[in-house]
């Protein structure tokens, strides 16, 4: 968390001072073949991209948190725990709740730190703070999707949990392909992060897709819990 705060704070502080002239401006404005950086301003675009990239790694953190369940299970800790009056769903749910809350906390702290430093540097603490905070918190639904995918895989078959990382990496590759203008936006929308993309003006962020992502997360998690309740617990080999 300290690293995330430092990263966002530094980039937020220097963002308003960036000039719209130069190589960086040309690179940002060329992403996806759009001229959106000229409309939003290079400083705002720079912090937007920074928060977007960090949210992808927050999703990886959420997946790692669920992956620890497999380690505990293969080491025999889960089997000993479930011998006591603790239900499977309660045990797994507690870990998923912690993972979701920690992910939300990371995004919240990232938004608060980024908003404060960006607002101070830009001379508009009120407007800058709430804009950056909203931008950061809006990344929670796609982050939770990856948490839900990992929960689903763990609930049914922990041995194929690596598939979750394949899906995460595929989203990263889609982003790179779109930025390189190899694919168009319609294909990019396969990625959950497309619905909170840095090219979308935060004031015009569509809420229905985010709500649907939250619903999908709930479904994935529920199915994962059901699968864990009905499968055999892994034991030490």
CB environment 1-25: b (16+ within 10 A), e (fewer): eeebbebbbebbbebbebeeeeeeb
**Polymer length in residues for the chain:** 237
Per-residue model confidence (pLDDT) at position 192: 96
For the chain, 237 residues long, the average pLDDT of each consecutive 10-residue run is 62 55 56 56 76 93 88 66 66 92 94 82 74 92 97 90 94 91 90 92 88 97 90 65
DSSP 33-71: G--HHHHH-HHHHHHHHHHHHHHHHHHHHHHHHHHHHHH
Q: What is the pTM of this model?
A: 0.85
Residue 146 CB neighbours (<10 A) = 27
Per-residue model confidence (pLDDT) at position 216: 97
Residue ranges per domain, the chain? 2-230
Per-residue model confidence (pLDDT) at position 119: 77
């Amino acid at each position: 968390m300290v690293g995330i705060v430092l990263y966002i704070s530094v980039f937020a502080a220097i963002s308003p001072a960036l000039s719209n002239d130069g190589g960086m401006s040309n690179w940002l404005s060329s992403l996806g073949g759009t001229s959106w950086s000229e409309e939003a301003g290079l400083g705002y675009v720079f912090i937007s991209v920074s928060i977007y990239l960090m949210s992808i790694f927050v999703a990886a953190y959420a997946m790692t948190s669920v992956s620890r369940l497999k380690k505990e299970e293969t080491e025999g800790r889960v089997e000993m725990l479930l011998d006591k009056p603790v239900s499977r769903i309660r045990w797994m749910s507690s870990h998923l709740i912690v993972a979701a809350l920690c992910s939300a906390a990371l995004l919240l702290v990232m938004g608060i730190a980024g908003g404060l430093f960006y607002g101070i540097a830009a001379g508009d603490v009120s407007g800058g703070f709430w804009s950056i905070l909203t931008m950061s918190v809006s990344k929670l639904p796609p982050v939770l999707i990856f948490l839900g995918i990992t929960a689903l895989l763990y609930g049914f078959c922990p041995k194929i949990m690596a598939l979750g990382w394949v899906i995460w990496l595929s989203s990263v590759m889609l982003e790179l392909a779109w930025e390189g203008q190899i694919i168009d936006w319609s294909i990019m929308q396969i990625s959950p992060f497309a619905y909170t993309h840095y090219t979308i003006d935060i004031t015009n962020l569509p809420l229905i897709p985010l709500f649907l992502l939250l619903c999908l997360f709930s479904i994935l998690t529920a199915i994962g819990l059901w699968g864990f309740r009905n499968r055999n617990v892994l034991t030490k080999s």
